[in-house]
Amino acid sequence: MADEKENIGEKKYKYSIIIPTFNERLNIAIIVYLIFKHLRDVDFEIIVVDDGSPDGTQDIVKQLQQLYGEDRILLRARAKKLGLGTAYIHGLKYATGDFVVIMDADLSHHPKYLPSFIKKQLETNASIVTGTRYVKDGGVHGWNLMRKLTSRGANVLAQTLLWPGVSDLTGSFRLYKKCVLEDVISSCVSKGYVFQMEMIVRASRKGYQIEEVPITFVDRVFGTSKLGGSEIVEYLKGLVYLLLTT
């Protein structure tokens, strides 16, 4: 390993992976296992921001800490469900990496793509690498026709209005340079998936270099959460807000 470092002459970077959780007792263990499996030669830490899950998520994380080390897995919990944006901000406070990865805990984001994020960033020196589900080597599983239609319609509308420069606006599997994440997140005020859109649009407006890598997205949750009229209204309101303020 030391030989490799000298030959390549590369600086070894550290990656902080922030995972907000709520009732992800089983999934968090699997995600941690898969991250360790796919990032064998990488210096990283996992920051679990749990919002007071009643299902024992934090107990599992503590057991994982015993197994993998408290320097590799940080549990930075909060008292109750306080939202995604603030979860990232909270996790950022404890991140000691040069880069920050954000990803979901429900296994829709597979850690096997982490090496491709890292590679893309090293190749292009991008400020942000975002995963996109909507390109040829990407994809989604678990969506019915209606869901695909709303997703596609929402995307076309957002592309037409915002010219964002990325193909997947609502995706939340991203790698940021730590300083870039700190800069962008401080100017974002939206909630939910509009927050993810706001992050990438603001970053684009600020001139940060954004690259994309294809990812596959397995939605095991969709059946339980329907995409109703109120979500659509919220999305449209978010679009108008972004159109006027970015």
Partner 1 sequence: MKHIVKILSLLAAISAFWIGLLQAAIIPRSHTWLLPIYFVVSLGCYGLLMVGVGLMQFPTCPQEAVLLQKDITEAKEFFKHKGVDVGSD
What is the binding site for partner 1 (CB under 8 A)?
A: 25-26, 29-30, 33-34, 56, 60, 63-64, 67, 107, 110, 133-142, 145, 148-149, 152-153, 155-157, 160-163, 205, 216-218, 243-246
For partner 1, the closer of residues 51 and 168 by Cβ is 168
1 vs 244 by CB, closer to partner 1: 244
Q: b vs e for 91-107, b when ≥16 Cβ sit within 10 Å of the residue's Cβ?
A: bbeebebebbbbbbbbb
Nearest to 165 by CA among 133, 130, 192: 130
Q: How far is the CB of 38 from partner 1 (least distance, A)?
A: 10
Show the CA angle centred on residue 64, arms to residues 62 and 69, nearest 5°: 95
- Tell me the sheet residues that pair with 12: none
At 13, the amino acid letter reads: Y
Q: Between 85 and 164, whose beta carbon lies closer to partner 1?
A: 164
Least distance from partner 1 to the Cβ atom of residue 223, Å: 13
Q: How far is the CB of 144 from partner 1 (least distance, A)?
A: 11
Beta carbon of residue 200, minimum distance to partner 1 (angstroms, whole number): 13
CB atoms within 10 A of CB 235: 20
CB closer to partner 1, 118 vs 201: 201
d(CA 169, CA 22): 23
Query: Between residues 162 and 175, which has the closer beta carbon with respect to partner 1?
Result: 162
Backbone φ, ψ for residue 235 (5° rounding): -65, -45
Smallest separation, CB 9 to partner 1 (Å): 35
